[in-house]
Structure 1
Amino acid sequence: MADKQISLPAKLINGGIAGLIGVTCVFPIDLAKTRLQNQQNGSRLYTSMSDCLIKTIRSEGYFGMYRGAAVNLTLVTPEKAIKLAANDFFRQHLSKDGKLTLVKEMLAGCGAGTCQVIVTTPMEMLKIQLQDAGRIAAQRKLMPETVAAGTVETKSPTAMQLTRQLLQEKGIAGLYKGLGATLLRDVPFSIIYFPLFANLNNIGKKDVDGPAPFYVSFISGCLAGSTAAVAVNPVDVIKTRLQSLNRASTEDTYSGVTDCIRKIMRNEGPSAFLKGAYCRALVIAPLFGIAQVIYFLGVGEFILSFMPKKHD
């Protein structure tokens, strides 16, 4: 039985709603991931995810855990929409009689990951600066000797201020710093995630031609998401380091992916590439679990059913 025709507007709505719900639920864990990945030997402020969140609440208040959330909530809708809709598009065009080989499933995931970086790179570039601002401020208070000479302590910038500054100083390329590392993370992630999800979801189907129950889609999304997240975590560490603009005088700076890998290996060892891995798994699992439930419940199709239809 052939796959039904894709309703692109419905898929875009589903991806957007799923992204908004998911980000709101897991953003504090994502903040902890960024701060854990960015701290280097000699400037450690946090020992674990829970320690990071507790210290963040104490120093910055409850809403301190949501630094950078506005950027994510604004851009996660187009990002998730592109990712999910692109995967569906490629799967449909690569399928033959409604069936896909594993290689074609991976190619569809590759296409989806490549498309999404258009939005993901600037979104994460801004988000990381805002998320890491609290760590830098705490470092100035606890370890003033690590602050570079002549550094002036200023209030944390807003996303708009950061955007204007990057555009003025470096042009559009400033927002796309770390594009290569983002591709190296998101393409393998999608190659792993989408085929794994599709196959796990198929296992849970009660009817071969029917949809899987929503709880099967949720569990499949969680398992596939956490597996893919941990698998690409080393590249996520590299991407986070490359996209962080503010560093203490004792912390390494990096000129590119290769330089970053070399310095991390030399100064921190291989284990540094797993920093924040469990945080990332805790972020991605519910994020994609929720996404798949919304996607397969057809919330977008339901909303569009109330829209007046055009007549020829």
Structure 2
Amino acid sequence: MDSPGFTTSLLAGGVAGVTVDLVLFPLDTIKTRLQSPQGFNKAGGFRGIYAGVPSAAIGSFPNAAAFFITYEYVKWLLHTDSSPYLMPVKHMLAASAGEVIACLIRVPSEVVKQRAQVSASSSTVQIFTDILYQEGIQGLYRGYKSTVLREIPFSLVQFPLWESLKALWSWRQGHAVDSWQSAVCGAFAGGFAAAVTTPLDVAKTRIMLAKVGSSTAGGGVLSALHGVWRTQGLSGLFAGVFPRMAAISLGGFIFLGAYDQTRSLLLELGRERP
């Protein structure tokens, strides 16, 4: 990928990430509290729904930028004139690679954010220092495996579906989709992917919020899922599914629409520059 394309993906991804995380933060807080082991009301209910927003604000830009740089680079690396039927596979591989890299930034931010969301009386800085003091750097990466195991299936569904919907819409109307059309495709793809991966999101939340030294804190996704199934059944595995779908559908609309719009604008500016 050329330097302008690399820089454009970085900036567009970062802008899109910050925009969606800040706009939809209250829905994310409600989803986290619904999934927390102490229950929605004890976790804070509807009070202090912006608790943890500093962590999200700091992590959003580099996280989203890292994902889209990797996503676009791997798509470029795998670009060939082979059968169009292989395009979804390329998008899956690109999205998976993007998630693995982005999670190196996302997970520490997510750990601090989620603990702040269920403990609104503690500041983000206090929670961050407590994690370092009690668990060290590895405490900030608790749930890395479960996050990757959630994000890769999510991306395997969302991004090929997003790209396919855009291609279908473009073919039907005879020209490339507009940014708002890309956003609509992103909303549908994100909502569908959110629904089917909610159990993995529940497991990730339980691991990140578990007490230090507990079996759940060890990071086993299957054991976390089994624990939820044993105590709460199917409803526990899909706790928070509606706010998660709402947040990610809206997030897909804003995130992928903002990404396409910002990327197009930056590329246009680059072409106009002498």
For the superposition of Structure 1 and Structure 2, which TM-score range results when normalised by the shorter chain? 0.7 to 0.9
* Alpha-carbon distance in structure 2 between the residues aligned to 1:78 and 1:190: 18
Answer yes or no: is 1:118 the counterpart of 2:104. yes
Q: 2:41 maps to what in 1?
A: 45
In the aligned structure 2, how far is the partner of 1:44 from the partner of 1:92? Answer: 44
Q: Deviation per CA, 1:10-50, whole angstroms, max 9, x where unpaired?
A: 1111111112221222111110000001145xx5638xxxx
TM-aligned CA distance change 1:277 to 1:257, over 3 Å = same
Structure 1 residue 121, shift from structure 2 partner: 0.8
Using the size of structure 2 for normalisation, the TM-score is 0.87
Matched, 1:174 2:139: yes
Q: Which residue of 1 aligns with 2:149?
A: 184
1:15 paired residue number: 13
Q: One-letter code of the match for 2:62? A: P
Percent identical among aligned pairs is 27
* CA pair 13-210 structure 1, distance change in 2 beyond 3 A: farther
- State the 1:252 CA deviation: 9.2
The answer as to 2:191 corresponding to 1:195 is: no
- Tell me the distance in 2 between the aligned counterparts of 1:44 and 1:221: 29
Per the TM alignment, residue 6 of structure 1 is displaced from its structure 2 partner at its CA by 6.5
Structure 2 counterpart SS, 1:204: helix
Q: What count of residue pairs does the alignment treat as equivalent? A: 270
- The answer to which structure has the higher helix fraction is 2
Change (3 A) 1:254 1:268: farther
Letter aligned with residue 168 of structure 1: Y
Residue 230 of structure 1 is matched in structure 2 by 195
Please give the secondary structure, in 1, of the residue aligned with 2:183.
helix
3-state DSSP of counterpart to 2:41: coil
- Measured after TM superposition, the shift of residue 191 of structure 1 is 1.3
Q: In terms of Rg, which structure is larger?
A: 1
Partner residue, 1:289: 253
Opposite residue 233 of structure 1, the aligned amino acid is T
> What residue number does 1:143 align with?
none
CA distance in 1, matches of 2:201, 2:11: 27
In structure 2, distance between residues paired with 1:272 and 1:27: 22
- Given candidates 130, 144, 156, the residue that maps to 1:165 is 130
Q: Amino acid of the residue matched to residue 32 of structure 1? A: I
Question: 1:103: Cα distance to partner?
Answer: 2.0
State the alpha-carbon separation in 2 of the partners of residues 16 and 157 from structure 1: 28
Shift of the alpha carbon at 1:254? 5.0
Task: Tell me, yes or no, if the aligned pair for 2:216 and 2:223 is still in contact at 8 Å.
Answer: no
> Residue 133 of structure 1 aligns to a residue in which SS?
coil
Q: 1:103 to 1:305 in 2, by over 3 A?
A: closer
Unpaired stretches in structure 1, ≥5 consecutive residues:
47-51, 135-155
